[in-house]
Amino acid sequence: KIDTMLYLDGVSVAFDGFKAINKLSIIVHPAEMLAIIGPNGAGKTTMMDIITGKTRPDDGEILFNGRTDLTQLDEAAIANLGIGRKFQKPTVFESQTIWDNLEMALRKPRGIFATLFYASDQADVDHITEILETVRLLSRKDDLAADLSHGQKQWLEIGMLLAQDPKLLLVDEPVAGMTDAETVETAKLLKQIAKTRSVVVVEHDMSFVRDLDSRVTCLAEGSVLAEGSLEQVSANPHVIERYLGR
């Protein structure tokens, strides 16, 4: 456990007696990417909700960074530990420039007064520049967020999460609605991020999951159905029967 970034063991949660998550055990190592696949209703969203404290598990152990018990913390406390979550729909400030979106994201942890009165120093400028390079938006820094494509807004939001320096980034279906070129680029940028941070990606797009080139876990009925490389998981007869073959 001590060398894991995220450790779930025997985690369960029921809604009105229905077990959405059933004795789920998952491990993510530091600077590792894990792709989560599985049919609708498998429990992927509920798993993310449990990790981020939106839903409290009925049972099981969840450790962050090998030591912090997440089951007793609320959403804000869990976010403050360094767990960032990217929802499917991008939520950027459309009427602000891309640069200003990132500047606000950078100051957010410093509080509302910092947002109003804090002047950016050179370290902030360097940090924002580096993030914009990672999310492929440096050349667009002075444009309004409203002028970005859907895919670029997703990248901007990933950048806004990076500004808060998460150790673990949870990403929900990032390439839904993206062009093919944006999808390929998204795999590259997430792989780049996963060189220094742990990244968990929930995704349906199998060619994108292939591009991620990461360990894959297939969930079904709230438990792990198969895990390994995408080749191993997609050759698993249970996965073919319950997910890929349908």
Structure letter (DSSP) for residue 108: G
Tell me how far apart the alpha carbons of residues 85 and 76 are, in angstroms, rounded to a whole number.
Answer: 12
* Count, residues near ligand ADP per rule CB under 6 A: 10
Q: How far apart are the first and last CA of the chain?
A: 36
d(CA 126, CA 207): 34
**Are the beta carbons of 101 and 93 closer than 8 angstroms?**
yes
Compute the least distance from the CB of residue 223 to ligand ADP, in Å: 12
Instruction: By CB under 6 A, tell whether 109 contacts ligand ADP.
Output: no
| Subset of 151-190 contacting ligand ADP (CB under 6 A) | none
DSSP 8-state symbol, 82 = H
Our CB check for ligand ADP shows the closer of 88 and 139 to be 88
When binding is defined by CB under 6 A, the residue of 4, 22, 45, 186 that contacts ligand ADP is: 45
Residue of 42, 50, 158, 209 that binds ligand ADP (CB under 6 A): 42
Quick check: 15 binds ligand ADP (CB under 6 A)? Answer: yes
Chain position carrying tokens 């292939």: 210
Which is closer to ligand ADP, CB of 20 or CB of 168?
Answer: 20
- Candidates 44, 86, 140, 153; binder of ligand ADP (CB under 6 A) is 44
Q: Give me the least distance between CB of 59 and ligand ADP, in Å please.
A: 16
- 78 close to 53: Cβ distance less than 8 angstroms: yes
Strands 33-37, 83-86: pairing kind:
unpaired
Which of 46, 52, 152, 234 is close enough to bind ligand ADP by CB under 6 A?
46
Residue 43 binds to ligand ADP (criterion: CB under 6 A): yes
Long-range contact set of residues 95-100: C-beta below 8 Å, sequence gap at least 24: 95/144, 95/145, 95/146, 96/144, 96/145, 97/141, 97/142, 97/143, 97/144, 97/145, 98/132, 98/137, 98/140, 98/141, 98/142, 98/143, 98/144, 98/145, 98/148, 98/156, 99/128, 99/132, 99/141, 99/142
40 lies in the binding site for ligand ADP (CB under 6 A): yes
In the complex, minimum distance from the CB of residue 41 to ligand ADP, in angstroms, rounded to a whole number = 4
Q: Kindly tell me which residue out of 5, 11, 20, 62 binds ligand ADP, with binding defined by CB under 6 A.
A: 20
Q: Considering beta carbons, is residue 15 or 66 the nearer one to ligand ADP? A: 15
Residue 200 CB, nearest approach to ligand ADP (Å): 13
Q: Does 83 bind ligand ADP (CB under 6 A)?
A: no
Interacting residue ranges for ligand ADP, rule: CB under 6 A: 15, 20, 38, 40-46
